[in-house]
């Protein structure tokens, strides 16, 4: 899940300066689940903007992910009159969703959220980052625990000399990723696998911006 947080109202009002009428669009997938941009939050944002003197021409929450061009285009068409009546669109989704909307309309589009990370959702209040989208997954070699993400140094071989009592030297509250990998490998009877030395990570697979056309084959790099 893509984790987001709401921006402070002052920041939103700063970039909405000069835009009196605003249409709001929330995301019914990640932002709704995490409680930053679903129906409740979009409705609340509309009320906060109204309190600040703005006119909300309407609001809607996507049923699919806002970053899905097909369904977001359809939704914007359905709400065309309310969108056209606005000076700007405020989007309560991750950055990909905001840019999806911006590519579909000829008017100012602003983000209501900060996009934080890709996470495992433990419950509706707790999540933890689990993947840095490195493009060349090494979980098969690390007992399905990601050191690229969970080790603050991103070490491919560990633990480093700083770990203590199973905790990370960068943050003593957190488990050392490499100790966790060792313990899981031991539990799985894979102790010898822990001794394998991994090559430094090749970050070429993590080039940005990513681009894939499944019909024409995968490609990476270059804005389209
Ligand atoms: S190795 Fe790379 S792709 Fe796999 S979980 Fe870690 S960051 Fe994500
Ligand atoms: S203590 Fe463990 S998790 Fe922390 S930086 Fe060292 S190897 Fe990485």
- CA distances for 57 relative to 100, 104, 170, angstroms: 20, 18, 48
Least distant ligand from the CA of 180: 2
* Of the residues 64, 92, 117, the one at which a domain ends: 117
Answer whether residue 178 shows pLDDT above 50.
yes
Mean pLDDT of the region 177-201: 97
Q: Quick one: 153 and 89 in the same domain?
A: no
Q: Quick one: 104 and 41 in the same domain?
A: yes
Q: Quick one: 107 and 139 in the same domain?
A: no
Residue 222 lies in a domain: no
CATH value at residue 80? 3.40.50.2300
Residue 149 lies in a domain: yes
For residue 167, the ligand 2 atom closest to its alpha carbon is 1
Q: Quick one: 140 and 79 in the same domain?
A: no
Answer whether residue 196 shows pLDDT above 80.
yes
Lowest average pLDDT, out of 34-38, 133-137, 138-142, 218-222, goes to: 218-222
Q: Can you give the pLDDT at residue 163?
A: 96
Ligand 1 mean position to 149 CA, how many Å?
7
Residue 43 lies in a domain: yes
Angle, alpha carbons 167-173-176 (nearest 5°): 30
Q: Is the distance from CB of 83 to CB of 18 less than 8 angstroms?
A: no
In angstroms, the CA 124 to CA 33 distance is: 7
Q: Which residues line ligand 1 (CB under 6 A)?
A: 131-134, 137-139, 146, 148-149
Q: Can you give the pLDDT at residue 224?
A: 52
Report the DSSP beta bridge partners of residue 163: none
Mean pLDDT of the region 181-204: 96
Ligand 2 mean position to 125 CA, how many Å?
26
In angstroms, the CA 109 to CA 128 distance is: 29
Q: Quick one: 146 and 112 in the same domain?
A: no
Q: Can you give the pLDDT at residue 207?
A: 87
Residue 219 lies in a domain: no
Probe target for ligand 1 pocket from 139, 153, 178, with the most ligand atoms within 8 Å of CB: 139
Q: Quick one: 16 and 113 in the same domain?
A: yes
Mean pLDDT of the region 96-122: 98
Q: Quick one: 8 and 108 in the same domain?
A: yes
Q: Can you give the pLDDT at residue 219?
A: 56
The domain of 182 spans 134-205
For residue 118, the ligand 1 atom closest to its alpha carbon is 8
- How much is the pTM? 0.93
Residue 75 lies in a domain: yes
Q: Can you give the pLDDT at residue 216?
A: 86
Q: Can you give the pLDDT at residue 223?
A: 47
- Dump pLDDT digits (tens) for 35-58: 999 999 999 999 999 999 999 999
In angstroms, the CA 69 to CA 81 distance is: 19
* Tally of domains within the chain: 2
Closest CA to ligand 2's atom 4: 168
Q: Quick one: 196 and 148 in the same domain?
A: yes
Q: Quick one: 113 and 138 in the same domain?
A: no
In angstroms, the CA 107 to CA 37 distance is: 21
Number of H helices, E strands in the chain: 9, 9
Q: Quick one: 66 and 14 in the same domain?
A: yes
* Of the residues 86, 117, 148, the one at which a domain ends: 117
Q: Quick one: 90 and 40 in the same domain?
A: yes
| Mean pLDDT, the chain, whole residue set | 95
User: Which tokens go with 18?
Assistant: 């000069």
- Dump pLDDT digits (tens) for 77-92: 999 999 999 999 999 9
Mean pLDDT of the region 14-34: 98
Answer whether residue 59 shows pLDDT above 60.
yes
The length of the chain in residues reads 224
* Of the residues 117, 145, 170, the one at which a domain ends: 117
Q: Is the distance from CB of 97 to CB of 65 less than 8 angstroms?
A: yes
- CA distances for 128 relative to 3, 73, 79, 121, 147, angstroms: 9, 32, 36, 7, 14
Q: Quick one: 191 and 161 in the same domain?
A: yes
Answer whether residue 174 shows pLDDT above 60.
yes
């Amino acid at each position: 899940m893509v984790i987001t947080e709401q921006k402070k109202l002052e920041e939103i009002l700063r970039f909405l300066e000069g835009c009196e009428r605003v249409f709001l669009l929330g995301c019914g997938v990640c932002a709704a689940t995490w409680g930053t941009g679903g129906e409740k939050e979009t409705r609340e944002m509309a009320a906060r903007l109204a309190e600040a003197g703005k006119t909300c021409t309407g609001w809607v929450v996507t049923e699919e992910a806002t970053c899905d061009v097909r369904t977001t285009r359809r939704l914007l068409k359905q709400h065309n009159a309310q969108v056209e009546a606005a000076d700007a669109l405020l989007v309560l989704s991750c950055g990909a969703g905001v840019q999806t909307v911006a590519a579909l309309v000829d008017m100012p589009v602003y983000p209501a959220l900060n996009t934080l990370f890709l996470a495992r959702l433990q419950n509706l209040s707790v999540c933890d980052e689990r993947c840095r989208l490195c493009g060349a997954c090494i979980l098969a070699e690390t007992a399905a625990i990601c050191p690229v993400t969970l080790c603050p140094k991103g070490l491919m071989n560990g633990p480093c000399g700083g770990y203590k009592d199973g905790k990370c030297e960068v943050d003593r509250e957190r488990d050392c990723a490499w100790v966790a990998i060792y313990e899981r490998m031991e539990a799985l009877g894979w102790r010898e696998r822990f001794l394998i030395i991994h090559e430094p990570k090749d970050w070429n697979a993590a080039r940005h911006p990513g681009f894939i056309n499944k019909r024409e084959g995968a490609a990476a790099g270059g804005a389209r």
